[in-house]
Amino acid sequence: MHVLAVDVMSGDSGPDVVIHAVYNMLAKNDDVKVILVGEKKSFSTLLSENPRVEVENASDVVPMNELPSRAIRRRHSSMRRSVEMVAEGRAHVAVSAGNTGCLLGVSHIVLRSAKGVLRPAFASFIPSGKTDGSCMLDLGANIECSAEMLHQFALMGSALVRSVKGINQPRVGLLNVGEENFKGREELRKASELLQNDKRVNFIGNIEGNDIYFGIADVVVCDGFTGNVVLKTTEGVAKMIRGIIADAFRQDWLSRLCGLAAMPVLSKLQRTMDPRRYNGACLLGLRGLVVKSHGNADVRSFEAALGYAISAVRRNINGVIDEVSLPDTPPAAADEEISSLPLAKGNIT
Amino acid sequence: MHVLAVDVMSGDSGPDVVIHAVYNMLAKNDDVKVILVGEKKSFSTLLSENPRVEVENASDVVPMNELPSRAIRRRHSSMRRSVEMVAEGRAHVAVSAGNTGCLLGVSHIVLRSAKGVLRPAFASFIPSGKTDGSCMLDLGANIECSAEMLHQFALMGSALVRSVKGINQPRVGLLNVGEENFKGREELRKASELLQNDKRVNFIGNIEGNDIYFGIADVVVCDGFTGNVVLKTTEGVAKMIRGIIADAFRQDWLSRLCGLAAMPVLSKLQRTMDPRRYNGACLLGLRGLVVKSHGNADVRSFEAALGYAISAVRRNINGVIDEVSLPDTPPAAADEEISSLPLAKGNIT
């Protein structure tokens, strides 16, 4: 049995969406158990009889606009309790739709960094051309990244792709504004050098924004600011194009007729392009597994994040990262005050 | 008559593409004259009789992988001569598909910054939802930007939108990873403060990647690294989706039939989503107008950049920027050595 600790309370959507998604997921996965974490009285009416569902009471909630430095002090929050379930060995993974910076801060305090890891990073698989997706990281855990952090992201991303996709030498690209290695900011130039000199990494050099979606790299490395902007831009463009397509087939009677005729293909297209299918990012580099869902996920979308969490557990993603022999840097002091972390003020939602 | 100085030699595509595009454009615009700048003997066979075409000989070419610091020393390059045509008052705008950093360096040296402008920025109109496009800047002139530069981009972008679209109080959004003003990097938080306190700017606050394409802001302000990545990501996503659509209508005989039936709408869609239509970015903040085309533009795409240049001249975009009373900062020393500019090593292509 794989056990998921699900934070029922955090996020914009409320327990209704989360619990609905959990039951949908359970119906499709026989080998999964769920611990619903939150204030039981606020969702007890939503529960139905299921031996694979357990409730862990948590009296507090981290609001979506909370500062990470304050979030970690809420010791009885559903977010913290969910992550603690993993630390205590009661769950294999925690899933939360809470504020990114807060989830990062809480996870870091509770689970601590894996050996040698400077900073954890959010990673996800993004659709790319004809391949079934590239791993992109960091997607928002670290607003500013040193060359050494970017180097580690490459190692962690490579380990992930090796395990999940069975690719022996995953191609790593560094997201930049030009292919030449003198391009971009100082830390990117330095990271490029580190990657070139590390034989464990199959570094293909700098890649640009338009390369992300063409399967040129199996791992796309960038800082969390850029990764977050890219991810959200992608969502925006896809949504705009879905709108353009829908409008095009609605313009006049001829277009509507075309639309009717093409309905089988169009419906399939809209499903393929549905951004909700790609919800879920894994926090890599901690001594335990945490998956973050979009804050405003709907049922379909939260179900995708749960699915992502299950596959992360099945693939033993964390074990994989532990195996990475990261550069011999002193591990970040895991119990340091969160306010000293760069994410304290610069986190993302 | 509006006069365009067109750099025939720079870029990846060669004189053939550029000259073909020029003749196409001239056929559609009676009030435009073109000065073709480059080594005449390399394209003389491509010329046909047209009283609105003139040739200015330039013996040198700036290669696509040239460093800006070296590009500005090529005094007889087609790039430099094109920009000089503007400085000498012989053309209203220069158009080049050359290396971005080089074009920026050369333009800066030849034309100098407009009064009070800290740094020029590349601006373009990007498609956004139901509106006819938001102005986004900087798209790659400045890899790193101070709060003061971002503040000026907001002023320049607002002036541009006011003039081009007749919007009196253009809504300005600062691209960030969250709406709250404590988000993002230090310079973004400071820029947010400057914008909030400047009554000339209709600042709507931070916007995120997914907001760009929904017409929430008339002006989207960001540093050149982020802007460049966003622009290229957009191209990549749009191209991927065009591929997905084409594939979907090709999968089996039923899909092909649907595709045939929907052909009138699909062709129109593919045209709307053609990224070549959006080629061209204007360098704002100099004492003269320069438009940059994609380096690998084809005829269709270069024609779009020429169209962009013509509309920039018709709208007197530079006059508009001159009218902006920018914050009273000392003007950048225009004839300083290019090597001291941040773009010298961190330029983009």
In this prediction the ipTM stands at 0.85
Tell me, yes or no, if the pTM score tops 0.90. Answer: no
pLDDT of residue B21: 96
Residues in B touching A211 (Cβ below 8 Å):
236
In this complex, is the C-beta atom of B277 within 8 Å of any C-beta atom belonging to chain A? no
B127 interaction partners in chain A (CB closer than 8 Å): 240
Chain A hits for B237, CB-CB cut-off 8 Å, are 213, 233-234, 237-238, 241
How far is residue B261's CA from residue B264's CA, in Å, rounded to a whole number? Answer: 8
Q: Give dist(CA A96, CA B3) in Å, integer.
A: 59
**The pLDDT value given to residue B343:** 36
Q: Is B263 in CB contact (< 8 Å) with chain A? A: yes
Q: In whole angstroms, give the CA distance from residue A319 to residue B165.
A: 56
pLDDT of residue B84: 97
Crossing angle of helices B224-248/A263-272, nearest 10°?
Answer: 150
Interface check B232 vs A, CB under 8 A:
yes
| pLDDT tens by residue, B43-84 | 999 999 899 999 999 999 999 989 899 999 999 999 999 999
Contacts of residue A246, defined as CB under 8 A and 6 or more positions apart, other chains included, come to none
Tell me which chain A residues have a C-beta less than 8 angstroms from the C-beta of B349: 177-180, 183
- At B131 the pLDDT is 63
* pLDDT tens for each residue of A62-91: 999 898 999 999 999 999 999 999 999 999
B126 touches chain A (CB under 8 A): no
CB contact under 8 A, A143 and B264: no
Interface test with B, best of A237, A247, A267 (most B CBs within 10 A): A237
Q: State whether residue A274 sits within 8 Å of chain B by CB.
A: no
B229 with A231: Cβ contact below 8 A:
no
Q: Which pLDDT does position A18 carry in this prediction?
A: 96
- Confirm or reject contact between A26 and chain B (CB < 8 A): no
Q: Least CB-CB distance to A262: which of B67, B144, B258?
A: B258
Q: A228 to chain B: which residues are within 8 Å by CB?
A: 177, 209
Of B209, B236, B238, the CB nearest to A214: B236
Q: Determine contact: A129 vs chain B, CB below 8 A.
A: yes
User: How far is the C-alpha of A341 from the C-alpha of A141, rounded, in Å?
Assistant: 11
Identify which of B79, B45, B85 has the alpha carbon closest to the alpha carbon of residue B59. B79
Indicate which of B12, B65, B176, B177 best probes the interface with A, i.e. most A CBs within 10 Å of its own CB.
B177
User: Does B243 reach chain A within 8 Å, measured CB to CB?
Assistant: yes
Helix axes B263-272, A253-261, angle to 10 degrees: 100
Q: Is B241 at the interface with chain A, CB within 8 A?
A: yes
Beta pairing, strands A2-7 & A32-38: parallel
CA distance B270 to chain A (A): 10
Considering CB atoms only, which of B224, B225, B237 is closest to A237? B237
Q: Give the β-pairing of B202-207 and B219-221.
A: unpaired
Residues of chain A with pLDDT under 70: 129-132, 319-349
Contact B178 A347 (CB under 8 A): yes
Q: Hey, of A99, A175, A177, which one would you mutate to test binding to chain B, going by the most B CBs within 10 A of its CB? A: A177
Asked if the Cβ–Cβ distance from A238 to B243 is below 8 Å, we say no
Q: Chain B: nearest CA to A145, how far in angstroms?
A: 11
Divide the 349 residues of chain B into consecutive groups of 10 and give the mean pLDDT of each group: 95 93 96 96 91 95 91 94 96 95 95 90 82 86 94 93 87 90 86 94 94 91 95 88 82 81 80 79 93 92 94 79 56 40 36
C-alpha separations of B340 from A187, B107, B133, B333 in Å: 19, 15, 35, 11
Residue among B294, B326, B319 nearest B100 (CA): B294
B66 touches chain A (CB under 8 A): no
* Measured distance CA(A172)–CA(A65) in Å, rounded: 35
Question: Rounded to 5 degrees, what are φ and ψ at A50?
Answer: -160, 120
A161-190 as b/e: b if 16+ CB within 10 A: bbbbbeeeebbbbbbbbbebbebbbebbbe
Instruction: Answer yes or no: do B229 and A228 touch at CB < 8 A.
Output: no
A-B contacts at Cβ under 8 angstroms: 203
Confidence at residue B201, expressed as pLDDT on a 0 to 100 scale: 95
> For position A348, what pLDDT does the model report?
38
Partners of B345 on chain A (C-beta within 8 Å) are 182, 189
Strands of the B289-292 sheet, one edge to the other: B53-57, B32-38, B2-7, B93-96, B289-292, B281-284, B121-128, B131-137, B219-221, B171-175, B202-207
What's the one-letter identity of residue B218? D
Partner A contacted by B182 (CB < 8 A)? yes
B93-96 vs B289-292, strand pairing mode: parallel
**Strand, coil or helix: what is A243?**
helix
DSSP state of A174: E
Residue B132: predicted pLDDT = 67
Closest CA relative to residue A137, chosen from A151, A124, A155: A124
